[in-house]
Amino acid sequence: MDAFRQAIHLLITLDPELLQILGVTMRMSFFSTTISCLIGLPLGTLLGTHSFRGKAFLKKLLHTLMGLPPVVAGLLVYALFTHYGPFGTLNLLFTVRVMVIAQCLLITPVVTGLCASYMEQSATGILETARGMGLPSSRVLLLCLSESRTSLLSVVLNAFGRSIAEVGAVSIVGGNIQWKTRVMTTAIMLETNKGNFSFALALGFILLLLAFLVNVAASLIVKEVRYA
């Protein structure tokens, strides 16, 4: 297949533009995933292990946000960071940073929601043990997180998958600027619009390969932690 051949050719020749685009993609996805998980995992654990008034409403809100269309998130962030927007003076529009912000808006609810439903289902045992040991609630939170790390890994990888595959928000706030904010998905979009279907598909194969490698690496790390 032509696209396959092109993908291999791009990888073997270490095409400098491709490497740069891959670099931006990885940097963006790494920060989006990290920040979303730093916020979403503790919040999801709290939500999943505590009951309080207004929880049902909060969960509905969360589930709505989980379905936020990327273009809408992109437009919101564009409106915030455009030159005359509330954060316009920060001069962040069309940078990788603002792409990370837009993606966090998209991914944090997903991480929170998935983490909360996981905790609801399987944290009762951990909670009982922790209470039996008389741990303070901050330690309980940490225990919940560390005991469920294998399952939470899939939440983290889900977040990463969203981030790396997302095109609507990053093309609006990032502007798809060559050598600066172009990532794999926006490059694929551009090539598709230009009619270079096989080249676009080649980029798609490379993106898949990248996602696969990250998944392998992540599961290796978790294994290490487990048996260490």
Partner 1 sequence: MKKLLAILLAALLVLSLAACGSKTETDPSATQSEQSSEVANTTIRLSTTTSVNDSGLLPYLLPVFEKATGYKVEVQSAGTGAAIQKAIDGNADLILVHAKASEEEFIDGGYGVERLPFMYNYFVIVGPKDDPAGIADCEDAAAAFAKIRESESKFISRGDESGTHKAELKIWGEDAPDASKDAWYISAGQGMGACLTMASEQQAYCLTDKATFLSMEKDLNLGLLLEKGDDMKNTYSLIAVNPEKIDGLNVDGAKALIDWMLSDEASELIAKYGQEEYGVSLFYLLEK
Comparing CB distances to partner 1, the nearer of 65 and 211 is 65
Report the alpha-carbon distance of residue 21 to residue 178 in Å, rounded: 9
Amino acid type, 100? V
Residues in CB range of 101: below 8 A, 6 or more apart: 77, 81, 92, 173
Comparing CB distances to partner 1, the nearer of 66 and 215 is 66
Which one of the spans 6-14, 66-74, 80-88, 202-210 is the region binding partner 1 (CB under 8 A)?
A: 80-88
Asked whether 103 and 38 are in contact (CB, 8 A), the reply is no
Give the length of the chain. Answer: 228
Query: Closest distance between partner 1 and the C-beta of residue 95, in Å?
Result: 6
Query: Closest distance between partner 1 and the C-beta of residue 61, in Å?
Result: 11
Asked whether 112 and 44 are in contact (CB, 8 A), the reply is yes
Per-residue x/- track, 147-186, partner 1 (CB under 8 A): ----------------------------xxxx-x------
Report the alpha-carbon distance of residue 154 to residue 166 in Å, rounded: 18
Q: How many residues bind partner 1 (CB under 8 A)?
A: 39
Comparing CB distances to partner 1, the nearer of 15 and 215 is 15
Comparing CB distances to partner 1, the nearer of 93 and 201 is 93
Q: Is 38 in the site for partner 1 (CB under 8 A)?
A: yes
Q: Is 16 in the site for partner 1 (CB under 8 A)?
A: no
Comparing CB distances to partner 1, the nearer of 96 and 119 is 96
Residues in CB range of 107: below 8 A, 6 or more apart: 32, 33, 36, 40, 159, 162, 163
| DSSP for residue 95 | S
CB atoms within 10 A of CB 32: 27
Q: Is 95 in the site for partner 1 (CB under 8 A)?
A: yes
* Interface residue list for partner 1 (CB under 8 A): 27, 31, 35, 38-39, 42-43, 46-47, 50, 52-54, 58, 82-84, 88, 91, 93-97, 100-101, 104, 175-178, 180, 190, 192-197
